[in-house]
Amino acid sequence: MTEASWGGGAIEWTMSASLEDVPRGGAQVPEVTSLERAVRAWLDLPAERRAAAVLTAERPVTLPGELPADRYVGDAIGRIAEQLPGDGGADGGGAAA
Please say whether the beta carbons of 16 and 32 come within 8 A.
yes
Is the pTM here over 0.95, yes or no?
A: no
* Domain range annotation of the chain: 3-81
Please say whether the beta carbons of 14 and 34 come within 8 A.
yes
**How far is it, in rounded angstroms, from Cα 50 to Cα 52?**
6
Tens digits of per-residue pLDDT, 42-86? 999 989 889 999 999 999 999 988 999 999 998 899 999 999 988
| pLDDT more than 90, % of the chain | 47
The two beta strands, 27-28 and 31-34, are unpaired
Residue 30 per-residue DSSP state: P
